[in-house]
Amino acid sequence: MTLRIYNTLTRHKEEFVPLESGIVKMYVCGVTVYDYCHLGHARAYVVWDMIRRYLATKYQVQFVQNITDIDDKILKRAQERNTTMQAIADRYIAAYDEDMAKLNIAKADDYPRATETIPEIIALIQQLIDRDYAYASGGDVYYAVQKFPSYGKLSGRKLEDMQAGASGRVDEHGDEKRYPFDFALWKSAKPTEPFWESPWGNGRPGWHIECSAMVRSRLGETIDIHAGGTDLQFPHHENEIAQSEAAYAKPLAQYWMHNGFVNIDGEKMSKSLNNFTTIRDLFVHFDPMAIRLFILQAQYRQPIDFTEEAIKAATKGWETIRDGMLFAADFAEKLGWQDIELPSRSVIAQAIASFEEAMDDDFNTSVALSHVFELAKKLRSERNSLLHSGKTEQSSETLFKEWQALSYMANTLGFVANISDRAEVKDGIADAQIEDLIQQRIEAKKAKNYQEGDRIRDELKSLGINLVDQKDGTTLWIRV
C-alpha cells in the first residue's frame, strides 16, 4: 500500500511523493520556552516523532524543529523573576530536553533558535518590503495581508471574517498599521527590552517571520512536510505561507499536517485556560511509555480526552507491550536464541503487513496498535507458560519471529523497554529483591532448613509473587 497523508491545505488524503526521491524534508514548529511542557506538548512531539520514525523506514528524513527563544511571554517571565530572557530560555530548553528524552523522542537533526537566525530574518523582511508585501511604520514592519490574494487558503478563512489578534500573538495595538489584520514582522524595542539592530531601528522579530526564515535557512524554499498543532493552523502557519510564498514565489510545503488537541472536561488543554498537566507531573505517577501509549492510541488528527481512567488503562496496556518486548531478554538463553538483533523491515515484511497497512493510511496508530497488542498478548501468554511450567505452546522458531515482528513495530512507534522498568516498584518489591530471596530459600533448603524456606515462600506470596519449583532444582516466579 502507498503511504497516504491527510493534507490540511487540500483537506484530502493524498499519496505521499517527496520532492526529491528517497529524501523527506520535514519541519515542525517547536516550543516557546517560558514554562514546563504540558501534556498537549507531549502529544504533538510524540506524534511527530512517530511519523518521523515511520518515514525513516522508507526514506532518509531531514528533521528540523525550531525553538522560539524571543517572545512576549518569555520577556514577561524574565521580568517576573528578575532575570534575563536568555536565562529563562536556557532553563526551559533544558527542561524540554529532559522531558522529551523520557518520552523517547529522538533528537531533531537541527534545533535552530530564533535569536540565532536574526540576519536571515532581517534579510527576509527586507525582501518582502522590496517586493511590496511589507512596509515599515514607526520602527515596526508589517506584512500587508491584502497584497497576498490567497491569504486564508490553509485555514479556510476569509479576511472579512477574521479577527485581529488571533491566538494572542498578533499585535492588537498597532496604530501604525494600514489595515487591521496586517501582522508584525519586526517590532521596535521598548525600554529595557533586548533588541537587535536593523534597517528599521532597534527591535526584535515577530513570531511568524522566525519560522519562515528558519525553514528557508535549514531546509530550503520548499519542503515536503510542515507540521504543528491544530492551534497553529491560524494565524501562525497561514502567516508563514503568506511570508514565504510572497518572498520566493514557490509553495512553502507540499503537505501540511496538524495534530489534534488534548481535552480536559471538553476543553483544549492550555496554559491560558489553566487546565494543563505538566509532563513532569505525570512522570511522578506514570511510566513515560504509558503516556506515549495513551497519546498514540488515538489517530493523530483526532482530539483525545485525558482522564485518570484512560491513563491507567494505558499503563496496563504498556505493561503488556513491555513484557512482549522483553521476551528475548527473559528467555532467549532458555529457548536457544543465538542472534536476537532486530531484523530489517524486509525480513519480516509479511508479519508486519497489517501494521504497515494501517500506518500507510495517514499514520493510523489506533489500528496499528491493535496488531502490536495481538502479538504482545501472545508473547505474554507464552511468558506465563514458561514461568509456570517451563514450556511453551509454540515452537521456538515461531516465538522468535513473533518477537521480532513485535519489536520492530513497537520500536517504529517509539516504545523502549528495559528490564529495569520492571524492577522499580512493582507491588512493593523489585525483581532483584525477589531473586535474592529465592537464592536465600535455595540455600535454606540445601541446609535442610525447611522452615526458613517456607517462610521465604510465604513472604513472597504475601507480596503477590508465586514460586514454581522445577525438577532441575531451579525456581521460576511470577507476579500475580
DSSP states of 66-109: -BB---HHHHHHHHHTTS-HHHHHHHHHHHHHHHHHHTTPPPPS
User: For residue 303, which amino acid is it?
Assistant: P
User: What pLDDT, on a 0 to 100 scale, did the predictor assign at position 2?
Assistant: 94
User: What pLDDT, on a 0 to 100 scale, did the predictor assign at position 132?
Assistant: 98
Cα–Cα distance measured from residue 10 to residue 46, given in angstroms and rounded to the nearest whole number: 24
User: What pLDDT, on a 0 to 100 scale, did the predictor assign at position 480?
Assistant: 62
User: For residue 344, which amino acid is it?
Assistant: S
Q: How many residues in total does the chain contain?
A: 480
Mark the binding-site residues, compressed into ranges. Answer: 29, 211, 236, 240, 271
Residue 312 lies in a domain: no
* 3 state SS of 21: coil
Q: What is the pLDDT of residues 385-438, one digit of tens each?
A: 887 777 888 888 889 999 999 999 999 999 999 877 665 444 556 666 677 788
Cα–Cα distance measured from residue 174 to residue 167, given in angstroms and rounded to the nearest whole number: 16
User: What pLDDT, on a 0 to 100 scale, did the predictor assign at position 426?
Assistant: 47
Mark the binding-site residues for ATP, compressed into ranges. Answer: 271
CATH of the domain at 373: 1.20.120
For the entire predicted model, the pTM comes to: 0.85
Residue 51 lies in a domain: yes
Considering the domain architecture, whether residues 347 and 216 belong to the same structural domain is answered as no
Considering the domain architecture, whether residues 189 and 322 belong to the same structural domain is answered as no
Mark the binding-site residues for Zn(2+), compressed into ranges. Answer: 29, 211, 236, 240
Cα dihedral 65/71/73/74 (nearest 10): 80
Cα–Cα distance measured from residue 12 to residue 118, given in angstroms and rounded to the nearest whole number: 36
User: For residue 299, which amino acid is it?
Assistant: Q
Q: Which of these three, 268, 285, 305, is where a domain ends?
A: 268
Considering the domain architecture, whether residues 92 and 128 belong to the same structural domain is answered as yes
Residue 37 lies in a domain: yes
Considering the domain architecture, whether residues 93 and 131 belong to the same structural domain is answered as yes
Task: Quickly tell me which residue has 536574526 as its cell.
Answer: 118
Q: Which residues contact 67 (CB under 8 A, 6 or more apart)?
A: 30, 31, 33, 89, 93, 111, 112, 113, 114
- The domain total for the chain is 3
Residue 221 lies in a domain: yes
Residue 276 lies in a domain: no
Residue 290 lies in a domain: no
CATH of the domain at 147: 3.40.50.620
Q: What is the mean pLDDT of each run of 10 residues along the chain (480 residues)?
A: 95 98 98 94 97 97 97 92 94 97 98 97 98 96 96 91 50 70 94 92 96 98 98 97 98 98 72 70 91 97 90 93 92 84 81 96 98 94 82 86 95 91 56 75 85 85 78 69
Residue 404 lies in a domain: yes
Domain that holds residue 474: 425-479
Considering the domain architecture, whether residues 162 and 48 belong to the same structural domain is answered as yes
Considering the domain architecture, whether residues 348 and 210 belong to the same structural domain is answered as no
Residue 277 lies in a domain: no
> What is the DSSP annotation of 205-244?
E-HHHHHHHHHHHHH-SSEEEEEEEGGGIIIIIHHHHHHH
What are the φ/ψ torsions at residue 17 (nearest 5 degrees)?
Answer: -130, 110
Burial class (CB in 10 A: 0-12, 13-18, 19+), 471: exposed
Are 184 and 142 within 8 A, CB to CB? Answer: yes
Considering the domain architecture, whether residues 80 and 226 belong to the same structural domain is answered as yes
Are 477 and 465 within 8 A, CB to CB? Answer: yes
Cα–Cα distance measured from residue 42 to residue 436, given in angstroms and rounded to the nearest whole number: 38
User: What pLDDT, on a 0 to 100 scale, did the predictor assign at position 420?
Assistant: 72
Q: What's the Cα-to-Cα distance from 432 to each of 387, 419, 421, 423, rounded to whole Å?
A: 16, 10, 12, 7
Considering the domain architecture, whether residues 410 and 439 belong to the same structural domain is answered as no
Q: Which of these three, 367, 391, 417, is where a domain ends?
A: 417
Decide the pairing of beta strands 223-229 and 253-259. parallel
Cα–Cα distance measured from residue 178 to residue 153, given in angstroms and rounded to the nearest whole number: 22
